[in-house]
Amino acid sequence: MRSLEVKNRWPLLVLLLPAMSLAFAYRSRTSVDDIKGLRLITAIKTPYLPDGRFDLEAYDSLIHMQIVNGAEGVVVGGTTGEGHLMSWDEHIMLIGHTVNCFGARIKVIGNTGSNSTREAIHATEQGFAIGMHGALHINPYYGKTSVQGMVSHFETVLSMGPTIIYNVPSRTGQDIPPVVVNRVSWNPNMAGVKECVGNDRVREYVEGGVTIWSGNDDQCHDARWDCGAVGVISVTSNLVPGLMHELMFEGKNPALNSKVMPLIEWLFGEPNPIGLNTALAQLGVIRPIFRLPYVPLPVEKRVEFTRIVEAIGREHFVGDRDVKVLEDDEFVLIGRY
Amino acid sequence: MRSLEVKNRWPLLVLLLPAMSLAFAYRSRTSVDDIKGLRLITAIKTPYLPDGRFDLEAYDSLIHMQIVNGAEGVVVGGTTGEGHLMSWDEHIMLIGHTVNCFGARIKVIGNTGSNSTREAIHATEQGFAIGMHGALHINPYYGKTSVQGMVSHFETVLSMGPTIIYNVPSRTGQDIPPVVVNRVSWNPNMAGVKECVGNDRVREYVEGGVTIWSGNDDQCHDARWDCGAVGVISVTSNLVPGLMHELMFEGKNPALNSKVMPLIEWLFGEPNPIGLNTALAQLGVIRPIFRLPYVPLPVEKRVEFTRIVEAIGREHFVGDRDVKVLEDDEFVLIGRY
Amino acid sequence: MRSLEVKNRWPLLVLLLPAMSLAFAYRSRTSVDDIKGLRLITAIKTPYLPDGRFDLEAYDSLIHMQIVNGAEGVVVGGTTGEGHLMSWDEHIMLIGHTVNCFGARIKVIGNTGSNSTREAIHATEQGFAIGMHGALHINPYYGKTSVQGMVSHFETVLSMGPTIIYNVPSRTGQDIPPVVVNRVSWNPNMAGVKECVGNDRVREYVEGGVTIWSGNDDQCHDARWDCGAVGVISVTSNLVPGLMHELMFEGKNPALNSKVMPLIEWLFGEPNPIGLNTALAQLGVIRPIFRLPYVPLPVEKRVEFTRIVEAIGREHFVGDRDVKVLEDDEFVLIGRY
Amino acid sequence: MRSLEVKNRWPLLVLLLPAMSLAFAYRSRTSVDDIKGLRLITAIKTPYLPDGRFDLEAYDSLIHMQIVNGAEGVVVGGTTGEGHLMSWDEHIMLIGHTVNCFGARIKVIGNTGSNSTREAIHATEQGFAIGMHGALHINPYYGKTSVQGMVSHFETVLSMGPTIIYNVPSRTGQDIPPVVVNRVSWNPNMAGVKECVGNDRVREYVEGGVTIWSGNDDQCHDARWDCGAVGVISVTSNLVPGLMHELMFEGKNPALNSKVMPLIEWLFGEPNPIGLNTALAQLGVIRPIFRLPYVPLPVEKRVEFTRIVEAIGREHFVGDRDVKVLEDDEFVLIGRY
C-alpha cells in the first residue's frame, strides 16, 4: 500500500528497517522448494516437567519417534505445541534446541506468528537467525484487522525466509480470504498455506498454483488424494506417525482413513491439544502435566481412548508402554511456571 | 474440578500459591459493588508517538475528556486500546499511570486477561498491586479450551479483586456459555459480564441476577433500557462521550440512538479499532500513528467520517479542532517499536 | 559531547527521542527541592514469599513502620532491596505499588538505574509515568565506561524527573569523579549525590553546593553534622528507624552514634543485604527466605545479633516479636522464582 | 552448605529442580576436556545496525576472520561483546546463531553468567539447550555476596555443562578467592578459570591443578609461557587474531609480545570495549555505532590508532580496507534500541 508510506520526516522505511542482514542466510538458508515438498509435518507436542518448564528429554524422544516413523517436518510451538502458553524466549529456545539436535534430519518450522506484528517480526527474525528452516504465520487473531492490515502484517515477515501462512478461522475469528494470499504470493519466500477452512478452499488454491497443507486431520486424506494438497500439518501424527505417513505417501487408502477416523474424532472432541495431551500421557511418553488453561479429558474419555488404541493396534502408537487410564489425581495442572 | 487436584507430591496448592497477600488490599480495595454500578465505561484508545511508544500526553487528554463528559470507568489496554499489541510491562505501566493520575476520579479497569493462564495471573496480580480497581478477563482466545478449562482459568484470577468477564466469540473463536459464568458467580469478586453475543443473552443473564454490560454499541441502548443491562463498555464513547452518557443515563431515547447509529456502523465497518484510530486522528486529538497490523481506513471512508461528524454535530465529539480528511502520507505505520 | 551528534541520516535526536511527554508531569511532579530536603531515606528491604515472589503484606508493614518512625523517603529496589535480583516488570510494579499505597505519606525514590543505558531509560520513564517522586541512578557498574560515557549515560535520564546520582565504587568498580557530577549539575532535575567514597568527598561536594546523602551508615552522623550532608540513605534504618531519625534530626549525638555502631558493623560484615536479611528474619518481620546469591549469616553471627538487639534495646527495633536465633533449616534459599 | 537445606515444607530440592534433563545432552555434549585445551579464545565484539539491533552480517564476518586466523573459541556476549547491554533473548539468540552457523568450526562459549542467580540459571539452561559448548560464569558483581553465596551461586549452574569461572575484581568489586574455586572444583563440569588478578594468582592455580586462561592481554604471554596458563581469553585478538595465535602457540616470543604491547595499552586506556569498538570501526569491519553508555575514543586517540596499525602492519589486522580516522559525526550513539 504504497500510498500509506510517509514521505516526510518519519519514513516507513526507517521504522521498518530491512529485517535481517543476509550474511548468515546463504549458509543456513533452506530453499522454499525444500519446504514445498514436505508431505507429513507434525505439529509437535511440548511436554512439561512438574514445575512447568519444558521436559526436553521427553521432547527429544517425541521428535526422535517422528523422525523414525517418517515425518519430514515439525512445527515447533504451534497451537498444538502450545506456543501461546510460552514466553517468547522459551519459544525461540525450543526452536533453537530442535534445530541444534535434529535440524539435519527433519525440517524445523517455527511458529513465529503472532497477532502482534512487532512480536511476529522479532520472533521470526530470531528464529531464522538460529537456523529454523521455515516460519508458520497466522493472521492477527483476536485483535483482527482489515484485508489491507493482513497483507501488511504478512509482508513484514515474508522477507525473512520460507513461510507457510496458517488459516484457521475457528480459532482466529477471521478467515484469511484468498485475496490476501494472492497479494503476497509473488514473494519468493511464500511456501504455501496451511488451510483449515475445508477441501473446497484447498482445491481452489491448488488450481491457482498455491501449495496447500491440510490443517484438518479428518480431511487430509481427501485433501491429498482428491484435491491436490501436498500433504498435512498434523496433530494425529503425534500419536500414530507411521499411519499418517502411510496416508500421505502410499496412495489413496479410504480403509486406512476410516480406521484412524475414530481416533481423530476423539482427539478433537474438545479443543486441541486437550485430547492429544491426555492421550500422550496415557501412552506413557510424557508426564501428565498440563499448563492451564488446558485440563485433561474426563475419565470416560480417557477410558474410551484405551479402547481406540486397542482397536487400531498399540503397535501403531508412539511409545512402548501399555496404554493406561490415568486417575484424576495423577494429573498436575500448573498456572504459574 | 476438585478431583483433579493432586494429593501427593505436587499439590496444586503449591503450584497455585495464594495469589496475593492481603495487606495492601484493604487499603486500596474497590468493592465489587463500586464496579457493578458503573453505567458508562469507555474502552479507551491508546495513542502513540512516532516511534511507537505511548503518547502519554495525548492519552491523559483523552482520559480527561472522558471524565468531564461523564464516563465513570475506563478499560485500559482492552482490544480497543490494543492491549494485545503491548508488551506486558507497557501494559501494566499504563494501568499504573492511569491509576496514579486519574484513579481518584474514574474507575480504572485493567484488561489483564490473556489466553495464557500464567500471563493472566501475573498481570492481574501486578495490576491490583498497583491499584487498579477491577480486572477484565477474556476466555482463552485462539488456544481455546474446554468448559472445565475456562472455569479453571477464571478461578485462578478471581481471588485477586473485582472482575468482569468478557465474552466476544467473534474474536475468541469460542463462546463462554452461561454454565461457565454460573459456575464462577459464587465468587464475591465476580462483578459481571461484558457480553457481545446479543440482547437475548443479556436478558437471560439479567434474569439470573448477573450484572451485564453490553459490549456492542449498536445494541447498548436496548440492552440498557429493555433488557436490564447496567450499562455499556463502549468504543463509541471515545468519540462522543457525552452522547453515550445521555444514552445510558437519561432514559430511553430511540431518537438519540438512531442519531448515533450511522457513526457506530461506520466505526465497525472494519475490525475495531481501525475506525476509531482513523476517527481520533482526523479529530486532531491523537497523532495519526498506527501500530501494525492496524492500518487506516481508505480515503473514501475518511471522507465519510467528516460527513458523519457534521451530521451529528462537531460539538458532541472530543477535541476542538476542525475535523479533517487526512492524506495517506500523513499516516505512519509502525512494525518495530 | 555535541560533536558526536550525527548531522546526517541518523540524528541522535531521532534515536534519543524526547524521553517523556509532559502532560502528566505537571500533575504528579515532585519538585527537586522536595527531594533535596529529605534527611532520612531508607533503602527498603524487599521481603519474599516461599516461592520467591514479593511478600507485599510484609513489605507494606515494613514501609508502615518506616513512616511511623520518621523516615521521609524510601529507595525501592536499591541494592539493599535487591533490585538487581528483580525482573524489570517486578521492579516497576513494586515502585507503582509503593506509590499507590504510601505515596501520599513518604517520598518514593525508584532505583531505576542500570549499567545498560537502554534499561535505565526504559525503567526511569516507566517509574515516573506511574508516579515515583525521584530516581536513583548508578554509573554503569561492571561494564564501566569513560567519563564522557558516564555523562552521556546520566544525561539520557536526567530530563525525566528529580534524580539522585549514586556513587559506590566498591560495588561498581569505578568511581564517579566530581567532574562528572559537575558536568550534569546544571540540569534542574539534579537533586544530589548519594556518596559512599567518604566524608572528604562529601565535604568537597557540599562546599561546591551539591546536595549530598551519605551512603555509609557508619559515617552518616559525621557527614550530617560535620560535613554538611543533608542526610543519609540508610540500610540500618530498616532495623532502627527511630534511632536513625534521631541521629539525622536531633543534633550532634556521638553517644547515640557509638551506641548503634556495633549494629552497623555487624550489618556490614558481609556484603549488604546479607546481614539485614538475616536480622529482619530474626526479628520476625519477614519470612526467612533468600533469593540467591544471598545466603544467611552463619549461626555465630545470628547469635551475635540477638546480643546486639539486647544491648541497644528491643524496643528500638522494628516489629514486636521476641528476637530469636533461627536454625539453619528454617531458611529457604531460592534460585528459580 | 548442607545445613541450610530445608528439611520440611519447602525443600530446596523442589525450588532448585534438576536444572536440565539429560536427553539432548549426550547428543550435543562437549566434553570438559575439549574446553580445557583451547589456547586462543576471543571475546568477540558484537556489531550493531543503525537502529541498535545486531548486525549479523558483520558479526558473521568477524567470526569468520577469527576462524581463519586460528582462534579456537569465542566468548559470545562477554563484557567485550557487551552482553550486559543485551536483553537475554537477544543474548541467547546470538549464542544460538553462532552455534548454528559456526559451531562445527569453533567452540562457542556463552557468557550466561549474571549477578542474579535466577538469570544465570535460566540463561545457562537455555544456552546449553541450544548447543553452546561451554558457559562463562562471573561472580555476582555489584550486588556481591559472601563466600558461601558465591559457592551456592556457581553450584546452581555447574551441573549444566562445561564451565569457565571468570574473575575480574576491577569490574565486579569483589575478588573470587581461591577457596571458592577450590570448593567447586570437584564438579566434573568445572573447566577452569579466566583470571584477571595477575600472574601470581595464575601460577598458584596452575600448581594446584586448575586450568587457567589469562584475562589480561598484556600478561598473557608470560601467563602462558612462564606460569602455566593454557591460553588467553583475549580482546586484542579481535584485531590481530593471527598475532595472538602466534603468541599462544609458537613458543616464547618476547619480541612479538613487545610489538603488540602498544596496541594493548591503547586498547585499555579507557574501559574495554571502548577502544576495541573505535578500532574496529576505523578498520572498516563494523559500522561506527555504539550502544550507550559506550562512546568513541576522542579524535587524538583515533589518530594514534592509525599510527599503531602502521607500526604493527595493516596486514596483521582484520579487514582489508585502509584504516582511517573517523570524524566525530560519523559515529552514532544509541540509547533506545
Span B147-204, pLDDT tens digits: 999 999 999 999 999 999 999 999 999 999 999 999 999 999 999 999 999 999 999 9
Q: Identify which of D5, D50, D84 has the shortest CB distance to residue C115.
A: D84
pLDDT tens-digit map of B105-121:
999 999 999 999 999 99
Mean per-residue pLDDT for D162-177? 98
Residue type, B154: F
Q: Is A53's CB within 8 Å of D129's CB? A: no
* The predicted structure's pLDDT at residue D154: 98
Instruction: Select which of A59, A194, A205, A294 is catalytic.
Output: A194
Q: Strands, DSSP E only, in chain D?
A: 40-43, 73-76, 107-110, 134-138, 163-167, 190-195, 212-214, 231-234, 289-291, 332-334
- The C-alpha of A186 sits at a distance from chain D's nearest C-alpha, in angstroms, of 26
Average pLDDT over residues B67-72: 98
Q: Provide, as residue numbers in chain A, all residues whose Cβ is less than 8 Å from the Cβ of D12.
A: none
> In percent, how much of chain A has pLDDT > 70?
92
Distance, in angstroms, between B101 CA and closest chain D CA? 26
| Residue appearing with cell numbers 582484520 | D318
| pLDDT of amino acid D21 | 41
Residue D88 contacts A where some CB pair is shorter than 8 Å = yes
**D332 pairs with which residues across the strands?**
D289
Minimal Cα distance from B9: which residue of D? D14
Q: What is the pLDDT of residue B28?
A: 54
For residue D142, what are the contacts with CB-CB under 8 A and spacing of at least 6?
A: C79, C84, C115, C141, C142, C171, C172, D115, D172, D173
pLDDT at res. A28:
54
- pLDDT attached to residue C29: 73
Evaluate if residue B3 carries a pLDDT over 60: no
How far apart are the C-alpha atoms of D104 and D30, rounded to whole Å?
11
Alpha-carbon distance A53 to A291, whole Å? Answer: 10
Q: Which residue type does A62 have?
A: L
Say how many CB pairs under 8 Å bridge A and D.
108
Question: 3-state DSSP call for residue B195?
Answer: strand
Q: Kindly name the residue from C48, C141, C166, C205 that is annotated as catalytic.
A: C166
Is residue C26 scored above 50 in pLDDT? no
Cα(B215)–Cα(B226) distance, integer angstroms: 15
Mean per-residue pLDDT for C111-122? 98
Q: Is C293's CB within 8 Å of D141's CB?
A: no
Mean pLDDT of chain A: 93
In tens, the pLDDT along A61-84 reads 999 999 999 999 999 999 999 999
Residues with Cβ < 8 Å from C14, sequence gap 6 or more?
Answer: none
Q: For the residues A172-185, what does the mean pLDDT come to?
A: 98
Whether chain D has a CB inside 8 Å of the CB on A92: the answer is: yes
CB spacing of C24 vs B60 below 8 angstroms? yes
pLDDT at C91: 98
Task: Read off the pLDDT of residues B248-270 as tens digits, 9 standing for 90 and up.
Answer: 999 999 999 999 999 999 999 99
Q: Which residues of B touch D51 (CB under 8 A)?
A: 336
Q: What is the pLDDT of residue D238?
A: 98
Smallest CA–CA distance, residue B240 to chain C, in Å, is 22
At residue C12, the pLDDT reads 38
Q: For residue B29, what pLDDT is reported?
A: 73
pLDDT for D16 beyond 90 = no
Q: What would the pLDDT profile of A221-266 be if each residue is shown by its tens digit?
A: 999 999 999 999 999 999 999 999 999 999 999 999 999 999 999 9
What are the residues whose beta carbons fall under 8 Å from the beta carbon of C310, sequence distance 6 or more? C323
Does residue B39 register a pLDDT over 90?
yes
How many angstroms away from the CA of B226 is the closest CA of chain C? Answer: 40
Cα–Cα dist A131/A98, whole Å: 10
Catalytic member of B194, B205, B252, B294: B194
Is residue C166 part of the annotated active site? The answer reads: yes
Strands B231-234 and B40-43 turn out to be: parallel
Please judge whether C100 and B131 are an interchain contact, meaning their C-beta atoms are less than 8 angstroms apart. yes
The pLDDT value given to residue C30: 86
Burial C207-232 (b: 16+ CB within 10 A, else e): eeebbbbbbbbbbbbbbbbebbbbbb
Lowest mean pLDDT among A269-283, C3-17, C53-67, D137-151: C3-17
pLDDT at C28: 54
Across B41-66, b (16+ Cβ under 10 Å) vs e yields bbbbbbbbbbbbbbbbbbbbbbbbbb
Q: D9 touching B, CB under 8 A?
A: no
Burial B165-195 (b: 16+ CB within 10 A, else e): bbbbeebbbbebebebbebbbeeebbbbbbb
Number of H helices, E strands in chain C: 15, 10
Among the partner-chain residues A7, A116, A170, the one whose CB lies closest to the CB of B173 is A170
Q: Over 80: is that where the pLDDT of C137 sits? A: yes
C142: distance to nearest CA of chain B, Å? 26
Give the nearest chain B residue to C59 (CA atoms): B23
Question: Considering chain B, what percentage of its residues have pLDDT values greater than 70?
Answer: 92
User: What are the tens digits of pLDDT across the range A112-136?
Assistant: 999 999 999 999 999 999 999 999 9
Tell me which residue in D146, D171, D298 faces C173 most closely, judged by beta carbons: D171
Helical spans, DSSP H, in A69-116: 88-102
Name the strand (E) or helix (H) holding C169. helix C169-172
The answer to whether A101 contacts chain D (CB < 8 Å) is yes
Percent of chain D with pLDDT over 90: 91
Rounded to an integer, the average pLDDT of C196-222 is 98
On whether any CB of chain D is under 8 Å from the CB of B336, the answer is yes
Q: Is the pLDDT of residue D3 over 60?
A: no
Give the C-alpha separation, A130 to D130, whole Å: 9
The CA distance from A73 to A62, in Å, is 13
Q: Please pick, among C59, C107, C194, C205, the residue that the annotation labels catalytic.
A: C194
* Per-residue model confidence as pLDDT tens digits over D207-251: 999 999 999 999 999 999 999 999 999 999 999 999 999 999 999
Q: Catalytic amino acids of D?
A: 166, 194
- The DSSP string of C83-136 is GGGS-HHHHHHHHHHHHHHHTTTSEEEE----SSHHHHHHHHHHHHHTT-SEEE
Instruction: Measure CB to CB from residue D93 to each of A21, A22, A126 and give the nearest one.
Output: A126
User: What is residue B30's predicted lDDT score, i.e. its pLDDT?
Assistant: 86
Residue B11 has pLDDT above 50, yes or no: no
Task: Return d(Cα C312, Cα C323) in angstroms, integer.
Answer: 13
Q: Is the pTM of this model over 0.90?
A: yes
Q: What is the pLDDT of residue D29?
A: 73
> What is the rounded CA–CA span in Å between residue B139 and residue B120?
10
Looking at the predicted structure, is the pLDDT value of residue B232 above 80? yes
Mind telling me how many Å the CA of C272 is from chain B's nearest CA? 26
Q: Which DSSP helix (H) or strand (E) runs through A307?
A: helix A299-312
Q: Average the pLDDT over D324-336 and give the result.
A: 97
Per-residue pLDDT at A315 exceeds 60: yes
Q: Mean pLDDT throughout B34-51?
A: 98
* D85–C contact, CB cutoff 8 A: yes
Catalytic residue among B48, B59, B141, B166: B166
pLDDT digits (tens, 9 = 90+) for A32-56: 999 999 999 999 999 999 999 999 9
Average the pLDDT over D186-197 and give the result. Answer: 98
Q: Is B171 on the interface with A (CB under 8 A)?
A: yes
Among chain D residues, the shortest Cα distance to C335 is held by: D118
Q: What is the pLDDT of residue B25?
A: 41
Burial class (CB within 10 angstroms; exposed 0-12, middle 13-18, buried 19+) of C9: exposed
Cross-chain CB nearest to B141 (options A6, A141, A296): A141
Residue B258: DSSP 8-state = H
Neighbours of chain B (3+ CB pairs under 8 A): A, C, D
pLDDT digits (tens, 9 = 90+) for C266-318: 999 999 999 999 999 999 999 999 999 999 999 999 999 999 999 999 999 99
Cβ burial of B25 (10 Å; 0-12, 13-18, 19+) is middle
Residue-wise pLDDT tens digits, C38-51 = 999 999 999 999 99
Q: How far apart are CA D105 and CA D119, in angstroms?
A: 29
Report pLDDT for D8: 36
pLDDT, residue B9, reads 35
Local confidence band at D191 (pLDDT 50, 70, 90 cut-offs) = very high
Q: What is the pLDDT of residue C16?
A: 40
pLDDT for position B292: 98
